[in-house]
A = this chain, B = another copy of it.
Amino acid sequence: MDISHASSLSKADALALRYGEDSIPAAGPWSDAIALMLSHRSIRGYRPDALPEGTLETLISAAQSAATSSNLQTWSVVAVTDPGKKAQIAKLSAGQKQIEQCPLFLAWIADVSRNERMSVEEGVTLEVLPFLETYLVAAIDAALAAQNAVTAAESLGLSTVYIGAMRNNSTQIAELLGLPQGAMGVFGMCVGYAAPDTANEVKPRLPQDAILYRETYGNPNESALRKAYDAKMAAFSKRNDMTQDTWTSRVIGRMSKVAALGGRDKLVSALHAMGFPLK
């Protein structure tokens, strides 16, 4: 077992890195697994080194161990290692270079097609297939599985990053991966060893008071909490040579213009074309 950097972090250090010294939550019980998760960073630069044999199977065994709604298992994963195919995926996903760099790219698929193939063999109609609910379950279950794969990878000293831009051109990704109707690449994931020059400081999050509520939603101090977090993110950005400085400016940059969706504003029609009527 190698939990690398994680095991070296105390609870106090892990919480200070994630929230800043002035916003440490009153956390109680602790474990090595929790320390590992607290140390998470998304890594956007990879060494070309191959993964140890059986790593993919290990990660998927963790992924399949996550809960899945009613055991329906409406997700799949396509593991891509072929450099040509990774380059094509990168091209369709905002040109993100880490997709080409990483030795293993996982395309996580919201997939109701397997269940549908079963129903065809059994001569039964699955009435729930066309509903938004069914797509949502598939996407959520893919996410639960993928997050277990992230924790598993990091427990082995590997790094990961989610690729939401794999939805920029969903129908072309589906064609490239040979997906049937009722299957859609919901996000990608790079897996590999972080390049030595990659920024990897733990990113601060909003204080718990801004996202965790008791019994009823809301916190009257939200605006002040955001402004304190903005200052923290400005300092973080400066230390890590990022262009956006505060959380507020980051969110505005990503959410104020439809163009920032990179094509994902057409997700509804793309899903219709892939066999999800979203009824």
Contact = CB atoms under 8 A, between A and B. Distances in A.
A172 interface: no
A237 to B, nearest CB: 11
A186 interface: yes
Contacts of A60: 25, 208, 211-212
Contacts of A256: 119, 124-128
Contacts of A161: 67
B131 A261 contact: yes
Contact of A186 (B124, B140, B203): B140
A218 to B, nearest CB: 6
Interface in A143-190: 143-144, 146-148, 150-152, 155-156, 161-162, 164, 167, 177-180, 183, 186-187
Interface stretch (A95-103, A193-201, A263-271): A263-271
Interface residues of A, number: 130
A231 to B, nearest CB: 15
A178 B214 contact: no
B31 A162 contact: no
A216 B156 CA distance: 26
B206 A31 contact: no
A52 B162 CA distance: 33
B211 A33 contact: no
Q: Give the oligomeric copy count.
A: 2
A55 interface: yes
Most buried by B among A133, A178, A261, A271: A133
A212 to B, nearest CB: 5
A240 interface: no
Contacts of A58: 27-30, 34
28 contacts: A1-B32, A25-B57, A26-B53, A27-B58, A34-B58, A39-B65, A40-B65, A40-B67, A57-B212, A66-B150, A67-B162, A69-B164, A76-B212, A78-B217, A79-B212, A81-B215, A85-B215, A114-B210, A115-B251, A115-B255, A118-B251, A119-B251, A124-B252, A139-B143, A143-B144, A144-B146, A178-B217, A278-B278
